[in-house]
């Protein structure tokens, strides 16, 4: 399917039925996050330190991470390219840009920074890939075709507060990942207690940053699709952070007792 035919397809399917589909997919995303949170109470999320051959043959960390995140960058950009007046509006451009910037970093930059990441099980890779296609369509289609904002939206407190939250969350996420990557000196093995930045307050500082980022994004967007993504992120990364917190407490006797799980000052 050529670019022209693809854009014609999206113009044909545009309308109330697709809007209803996006709404249903948003509810589905929240349900997926909630179900994952329950499942993760019993099974550690199988990647990183919990990687296991039980979930399929192991893929190299760098290419697996890049490929699984890439749809969240390419799908929204493709949908925006086929968008009309809605996609051309400045609020929509900026919000789509925020989403694209995050995934440009996750798909193109972050994998290059991985030093000796543990391999990714094939099953985990496939699930992550499908999730990124799902959410890429959900956020991209909403912002490129349906989300309409008043002329002064970029000066609205909701947008400004949300954008600041998005920016702060992404900065915390990137900084926390930097701390984690540099815990071990060249040649060292084993795990260490992360220190500095938001790690002084929470065990899952990188997860806290991403949760803050997407709730800020949801406030700036004020769409059901962005809120669903923020809630799904909270469910899944909150569960991951809880596993990490318990792992740290069991592995390190001197682990700082005052650190919370993922939200500062709150268990």
The helix (run of H) or strand (run of E) holding residue 58 is: strand 58-59
Residue 211 is predicted with a pLDDT of 98
Band of the pLDDT at 202, cuts 50, 70, 90?
A: very high
- Longest pairwise C-alpha distance within the chain: 61
Alpha carbon separation from 29 to 1, 10, 71, 232, 257 (Å, rounded): 28, 22, 17, 6, 34
- pLDDT of 122 higher than 50: yes
- pLDDT of 186 higher than 80: no
Burial class (CB in 10 A: 0-12, 13-18, 19+), 263: middle
Summarize the confidence of residues 102-106 as an average pLDDT.
Answer: 98
The backbone torsions φ and ψ at residue 79, rounded to the nearest 5 degrees and listed phi first, read: -65, -40
Residue 18 is predicted with a pLDDT of 98
Residue that is written with structure tokens 């996750």 in the block: 106
Band of the pLDDT at 1, cuts 50, 70, 90?
A: low
Percent of the chain with pLDDT over 90: 80
DSSP string for 92-129: HHHHHHHHHHHHHIIIIIHHHH-SSPPPEEHHHHHHHH
Q: Taking the model in full, what pTM does it have?
A: 0.94
- pLDDT of 139 higher than 90: yes
Burial class (CB in 10 A: 0-12, 13-18, 19+), 109: exposed
CB contact at 8 A, 68 and 121: no
- pLDDT of 222 higher than 60: yes
Residue 126 is predicted with a pLDDT of 95
Summarize the confidence of residues 92-113 as an average pLDDT.
Answer: 97
Rg (CA), the chain: 19
Summarize the confidence of residues 153-170 as an average pLDDT.
Answer: 98
Residue 155 is predicted with a pLDDT of 98
Alpha carbon separation from 180 to 28, 173, 176, 241, 264 (Å, rounded): 32, 11, 6, 14, 18
Alpha carbon separation from 96 to 49, 123, 143 (Å, rounded): 32, 29, 7
- pLDDT of 224 higher than 90: yes
Question: Tell me: the pLDDT tens digits for 11-51?
Answer: 999 999 999 999 999 999 999 999 999 998 888 777 677 77
Contacts of 22 (CB under 8 A, 6+ apart): 138, 141, 142, 146, 224, 225
Residue 157 is predicted with a pLDDT of 98
Average pLDDT, the chain: 93
Summarize the confidence of residues 150-178 as an average pLDDT.
Answer: 97
Residue 266 is predicted with a pLDDT of 54
Distance between CA 234 and CA 237 in Å, rounded? Answer: 6
Residue 267 is predicted with a pLDDT of 44
- pLDDT of 185 higher than 70: yes
Residue that is written with structure tokens 């650190």 in the block: 259
Query: How many Cα neighbours within 13 Å face the side chain of 65?
Result: 22
DSSP string for 163-221: HHHHHHHHHHHHHHHHHHHTSS-TT--S-----SGGGGTBTTHHHHHHHHHHHHHHHHH
Burial class (CB in 10 A: 0-12, 13-18, 19+), 149: middle
From the centroid of its chain, how far is CA 109? 15
Residue 46 is predicted with a pLDDT of 74
């Amino acid at each position: 399917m050529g670019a022209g035919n693809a854009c014609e397809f999206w113009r044909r399917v545009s309308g109330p039925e697709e809007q209803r589909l996006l709404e249903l997919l948003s509810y589905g995303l929240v349900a997926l996050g909630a179900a994952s949170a329950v499942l993760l109470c019993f099974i550690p999320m199988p990647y990183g330190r919990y990687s296991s051959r039980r979930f399929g043959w192991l893929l190299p960390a760098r290419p697996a991470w890049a490929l699984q995140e890439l749809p969240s960058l390419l799908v929204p950009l493709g949908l925006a390219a086929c968008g009309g007046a809605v996609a051309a509006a400045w609020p929509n451009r900026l919000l789509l840009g925020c989403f694209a910037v995050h995934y440009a970093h996750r798909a193109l930059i972050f994998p290059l920074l991985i030093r000796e990441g543990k391999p990714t099980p094939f099953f985990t890779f496939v699930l992550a890939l499908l999730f990124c296609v799902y959410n890429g369509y959900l956020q991209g289609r909403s912002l490129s075709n349906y989300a309409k904002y008043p002329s002064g939206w970029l000066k609205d407190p909701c947008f400004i507060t949300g954008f600041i939250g998005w920016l702060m969350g992404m900065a915390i996420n990137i900084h926390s990942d930097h701390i984690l990557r540099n815990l071990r000196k060249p040649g060292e093995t084993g795990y260490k207690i992360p220190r500095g930045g938001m790690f002084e307050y929470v065990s899952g500082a990188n997860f806290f940053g991403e949760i803050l980022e997407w709730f800020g994004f949801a406030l700036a967007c004020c769409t059901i699709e962005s809120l669903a993504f923020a809630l799904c992120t909270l469910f899944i990364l909150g569960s991951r952070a809880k596993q990490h917190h318990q792992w740290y407490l069991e592995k390190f006797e001197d682990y700082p007792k005052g650190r919370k799980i993922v939200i500062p000052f709150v268990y």
